[in-house]
């Protein structure tokens, strides 16, 4: 391993003590925006920046192997991303995004840990001196960060999903941390960090229990500006809700979900504390099942085996969501699993004797799967791009695509019903043909369905093959600078779709009115976000990422961007809930809800969400955005 003064293999070392990041941002100000440095003084931030070093890494580069040494530095991600994986089995522990840090747990523990840090994409990182970072962890912001990040490197027990009927007594891992009511918050947090737990239980004088969690630290101490020497009894939650050890896992999980609890103390019949069940335990188990499913996909030896595994994909998403994973995470995991299924389907089709020698193309995934927003009802949109020297192979390549879609259909993933699939000529072209077509759509978006085709290809993500063959993206990246009129038409198109409302009187009278959540509420957000992303020079990305980029570029206000993100998350949650209920009832999942069947809360949220979308669209028009 390199020493702390030597850059890891493949890294470019930039000058020490940088005042500015490569994109021109002020390093001390950047540090101050992120924990654990939010409580640092100007002098401390200046010292951190003076002792820092900027390093650039290519994708898949090992930044540090913490199983091999104890670090004397902490890394912060400026641009790109870093995956933390177990050295033993390669399992994913965490993904660190810009503003996040890693390497602090082995630094504070003074011991190696079984994980390595590897970049996921070309990345710029800041290496910070360990001694100065360590001092920040003694402050409230640092303590809060440690309490919320306690689980790094800890091996989780494999707790069963919610359908498990075993008693929870057999599912408890480590012993609970019990503290005294008069113990200080500082001492309690230190003990929580040492024990790698995210809560402490407080035995009350009347025999009951209080609970102090990492969330209490953030909201009741740090956010409230209280000193960390305050007694924990002042900021605990009491009495703590508890369950007895004879209850089943499914009933405990449902109670946690219904009450919005992350921790559930488990007691014997005599009131003795056995331990604490945590939602993170359950979610980790669900995520592991998704990784196991992906491994099963990769190991499928033929079409029949792949179809058997494919039939479990939708069920895995249902289980994830039922076990408490939020809709966005469930959707993202489902998208990743579907991508794995598509890749394996391609490999199996290409391995057939009649397809021997077929190569030199890229498979592009389009639509919600590409945006990492798939739902159980999602179909598969796709496109092909091949090398120019294979122009005479177009029929053969489209035939391969058709075989892949037939195999995917057998896995329960139907092809796009509107024909946006790689077996059709419109979505199967050479790299030069795609480039020419995309430039033509940008220059004249009203010709050859240019607006529609651009919208589809803007979402494209290369799922298999050479990424350089996705040549349409380059044309779209020029829209903001070279084709403002096309950008204006994209906005007009995004604003053209009507947001359907319904009669409140009909809903209250329970007349059975229906509402298409996708077409009449989500699609307007997706389209507006796509335009906003283009305004910021962004092509393929998730809807929330595009909305955030639009705010940074000034295409949307910060408030409107946050509003649309919140409404999008609410709608995705409602969609997922609805589809999971349909699947449980044995019906095909879809996006049309019957208003009278929704709870009053969901009807209210849906109505508020639709009004918020309409209000943002009006503000975009009133602010003159259509005159871009």
Answer whether residue 503 shows pLDDT above 50: no
H or E stretch at 189? helix 185-195
CA 463 to the chain's CA centroid: 18
Can you tell me the distance from the alpha carbon of 221 to that of 61, in angstroms, rounded to the nearest whole number? 39
Residue 339 pLDDT > 60: yes
**Domain shared by 306 and 432, yes or no:** yes
- 151: in domain: no
Q: For position 451, what pLDDT does the model report?
A: 86
| Residue where a domain terminates, one of 424, 443, 472 | 472
Dist CA 597 CA 477 (whole Å): 44
The answer to whether residues 506 and 606 belong to one domain is yes
Q: What is the pLDDT of residue 91?
A: 66
Tokens read off for 57? 């890494």
Say whether pLDDT at 627 is over 50: no
- Read off the DSSP letter of residue 375: -
Tokens representing residue 328 in the block? 């966005």
Asked whether the predicted pLDDT for residue 132 surpasses 70, the reply is: yes
Within a domain: 158: no
Average pLDDT, integer, range 604-625: 82
- The answer to whether residues 335 and 257 belong to one domain is no
Domain count, the chain: 4
Task: Give the separation between CA 381 and CA 271, rounded to whole angstroms.
Answer: 56
Q: Do residues 329 and 448 both lie within one domain? A: yes
Burial (CB count within 10 angstroms: exposed 0-12, middle 13-18, buried 19+), residue 280: middle
- What pLDDT is recorded for position 511? 45
Residue, of 198 and 358, whose pLDDT is higher = 358
> Could you tell me if 320 and 180 lie in one domain?
no
Q: Is the pLDDT of residue 403 over 50?
A: yes
Name the band, by pLDDT with cuts 50, 70 and 90, for residue 2: very low
Under the banding of pLDDT at 50, 70 and 90, the label for residue 13 is: low
* Structure tokens belonging to residue 526: 């997706």
Which percentage of the chain shows pLDDT scores above 90? 32
- Please say if the pLDDT value at position 392 is more than 90: no
Count other C-beta atoms under 10 Å from residue 483's C-beta: 21
Task: Identify whether residues 399 and 460 lie together within a single domain.
Answer: yes
The pLDDT tens digits of the residues spanning 444-475 come to 888 888 888 988 999 999 988 988 999 988 88
pLDDT at 343 over 80: yes
Average pLDDT, the chain: 81
Residue 623 has pLDDT above 80, yes or no: no
The first and second tokens of residue 194, run together, are 């040492």
334 occurs within a structural domain: yes
The answer to whether residues 323 and 458 belong to one domain is: yes
Q: Please state which of the ranges 42-51, 150-159, 435-444 shows the lowest mean pLDDT.
A: 150-159
- Give the pair of three-digit tokens for residue 96: 């660190």
**Distance (Å, whole) CA 353 – CA 345:** 15
Whether residue 162 has pLDDT greater than 60: no
The band of 16, judged by pLDDT with boundaries at 50, 70 and 90, is very low
Asked whether the predicted pLDDT for residue 595 surpasses 90, the reply is no
Residues 319 and 460 reside in one and the same domain: yes
Residue 421, pLDDT above cutoff 90: yes
| Confidence at 145, pLDDT banded by 50, 70, 90 | low
- The mean per-residue pLDDT over the stretch 380-402 comes to 92
State the Cα torsion 379-385-391-397 to the nearest 10°.
-40
Q: Is residue 409 part of a domain?
A: yes
Of the two residues 94 and 596, the one the predictor is more confident about is 596
**Higher model confidence: residue 478 or residue 279?**
478
Q: What is the DSSP string of 134-163?
A: HHHTTSHHHHHHHHHTTTTTPPPP----TT
More reliable by pLDDT, 171 or 58: 58
Indicate if 454 and 306 belong to the same structural domain: yes
Quote the domain boundaries for residue 305.
300-472
- Note whether residue 108 is domain-resident: yes
The C-alpha torsion from 164 through 170 and 172 to 174, rounded to 10°, is -150
Per-residue CA distances from 125 to 100, 371, 422 (Å): 10, 26, 39
DSSP string, 574-599: HHHHHHHHHHHTT----SEEEGGGS-
Long-range CB contacts for residues 295-301, cutoff 8 Å, separation at least 24: 297/337, 297/340, 297/341, 297/344, 298/340, 298/344, 300/344, 300/348
Q: Does residue 144 form part of some domain? A: no
Predicted local distance difference test score (pLDDT) of residue 131: 87
- Residue % of the chain over a pLDDT of 70: 82
Residue 293 falls inside a structural domain: no
Length of the chain in terms of residues written = 628
pLDDT, average across residues 141-166: 45
Q: What is the DSSP string of 8-58?
A: PTTPEEEEES-SB-TTS-BHHHHHHTSTTSTT--HHHHHHHHHT-EEEEE-
pTM above 0.75, yes or no: no
With a CB cutoff of 8 Å and minimum separation 6, the contacts of 568 are: 522, 525, 529, 543, 544, 547
pLDDT tens, residue by residue, 64-79:
988 877 788 999 998 8
pLDDT for res 572: 93
Q: Is 107 in the same domain as 46?
A: yes
User: Minimum mean pLDDT among 116-125, 374-383, 484-493, 528-537: which range?
Assistant: 484-493
CATH for 16? 2.60.120.10
Average pLDDT over residues 511-534: 86
For residue 320, what pLDDT is reported?
78
| pLDDT higher than 90, residue 255 | no
Residue where one domain finishes, among candidates 282, 310, 338: 282
- With contact defined as beta carbons under 8 Å apart, do 429 and 437 qualify? yes
pLDDT tens digits, 107-129: 776 666 778 899 988 899 999 99
CATH number at residue 431: 3.30.460.10
What pLDDT is stored for residue 128 in this prediction? 93
- If asked whether residues 339 and 389 sit together in one domain, one would say yes
More confident call, 107 vs 424 = 424
Same domain, 127 and 182: no
Cα distance between residue 256 and residue 251, in whole Å: 9
At residue 170, the pLDDT reads 67
Q: Is residue 285 over pLDDT 60?
A: no
Among 237, 217, 412, 205, residue whose Cα is nearest residue 314: 412
Three-state secondary structure call for residue 119: strand
The answer to whether residue 617 is domain-embedded is yes
């Amino acid at each position: 391993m390199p020493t702390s003064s030597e850059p890891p293999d493949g890294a470019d070392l930039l000058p020490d003590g940088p005042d500015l990041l490569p994109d021109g941002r002020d390093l001390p100000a950047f540090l101050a925006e992120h924990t654990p440095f939010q409580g640092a003084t100007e002098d401390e931030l200046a010292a951190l920046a003076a002792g820092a070093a900027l390093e650039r890494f290519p994708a898949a580069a090992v930044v540090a192997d913490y199983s091999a040494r104890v670090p004397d530095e902490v890394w912060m991600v400026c641009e790109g991303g870093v995956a933390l994986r177990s050295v033993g089995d390669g399992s994913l522990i965490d993904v660190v995004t810009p503003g996040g840090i890693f390497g602090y747990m082995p630094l504070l523990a003074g011991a190696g840990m079984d994980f390595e840090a590897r970049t996921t994409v070309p990345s710029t990182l800041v290496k910070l001196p360990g001694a100065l970072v360590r001092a920040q962890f003694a402050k409230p912001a640092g303590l809060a960060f440690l309490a919320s990040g306690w689980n790094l490197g800890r091996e989780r027990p494999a707790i069963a999903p919610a359908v498990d009927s075993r008693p929870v007594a057999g599912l408890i891992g480590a012993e609970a941390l019990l503290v005294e009511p008069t113990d200080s918050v500082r001492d309690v947090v230190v003990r929580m960090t040492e024990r790698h737990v995210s809560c402490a239980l407080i035995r009350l004088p009347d025999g009951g229990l209080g609970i102090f969690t990492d969330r209490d630290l953030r909201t009741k101490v740090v956010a409230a500006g209280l000193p960390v020497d305050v007694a924990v009894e002042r900021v605990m939650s009491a009495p703590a809700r508890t369950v007895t050890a004879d209850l089943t896992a499914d009933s405990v999980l449902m109670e946690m979900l219904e009450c919005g609890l992350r921790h559930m103390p488990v007691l014997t019949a005599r009131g003795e504390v056995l331990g604490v069940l945590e939602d993170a335990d359950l979610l980790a188990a669900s995520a592991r099942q998704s990784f196991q499913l992906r491994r099963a996909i990769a190991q499928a030896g033929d079409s029949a085996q792949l179809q058997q595994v494919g039939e479990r994909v939708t069920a895995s998403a249902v289980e994830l969501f039922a076990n408490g994973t939020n809709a966005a995470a469930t959707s993202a995991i489902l998208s990743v699993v579907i991508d794995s299924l598509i890749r394996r389907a391609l490999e199996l089709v290409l391995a057939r004797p009649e397809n021997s020698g077929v190569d030199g193309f890229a498979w592009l995934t389009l639509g919600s799967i590409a945006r990492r927003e798939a739902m159980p009802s999602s179909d598969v949109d796709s496109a092909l791009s091949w090398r120019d020297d294979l122009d005479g192979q177009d029929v053969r390549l489209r035939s391969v695509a058709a075989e892949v879609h037939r195999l995917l259909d057998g896995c329960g993933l139907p092809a796009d019903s509107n024909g946006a699939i790689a077996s059709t000529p419109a979505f199967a072209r050479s790299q030069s043909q795609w480039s020419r077509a995309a430039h033509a759509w940008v220059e004249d978006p009203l010709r050859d369905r240019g607006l529609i085709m651009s919208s589809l290809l803007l979402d494209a993500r290369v799922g298999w093959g050479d990424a350089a063959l996705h040549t349409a993206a380059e044309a779209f990246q020029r829209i903001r600078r070279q084709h403002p009129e096309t950008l204006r038409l994209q906005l007009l198109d995004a604003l053209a779709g009507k947001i359907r409302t319904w009669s409140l009187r009909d809903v209250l009278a329970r007349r059975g009115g229906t509402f298409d959540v996708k077409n009449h509420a989500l699609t307007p957000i997706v389209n507006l976000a796509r335009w906003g992303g283009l305004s910021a020079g962004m092509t393929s990305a998730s809807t929330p990422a595009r909305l955030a980029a639009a705010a940074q570029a000034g295409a949307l206000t910060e408030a409107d961007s946050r509003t649309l993100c919140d409404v999008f998350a609410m709608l995705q949650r409602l969609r997922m809930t609805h589809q999971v209920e349909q699947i449980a009832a044995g019906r095909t999942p879809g996006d049309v809800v019957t208003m009278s069947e929704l709870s009053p809360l969901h009807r209210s949220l849906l109505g508020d969400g639709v009004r918020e979308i309409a209000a943002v669209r009006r503000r975009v028009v009133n602010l003159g955005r259509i005159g871009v």
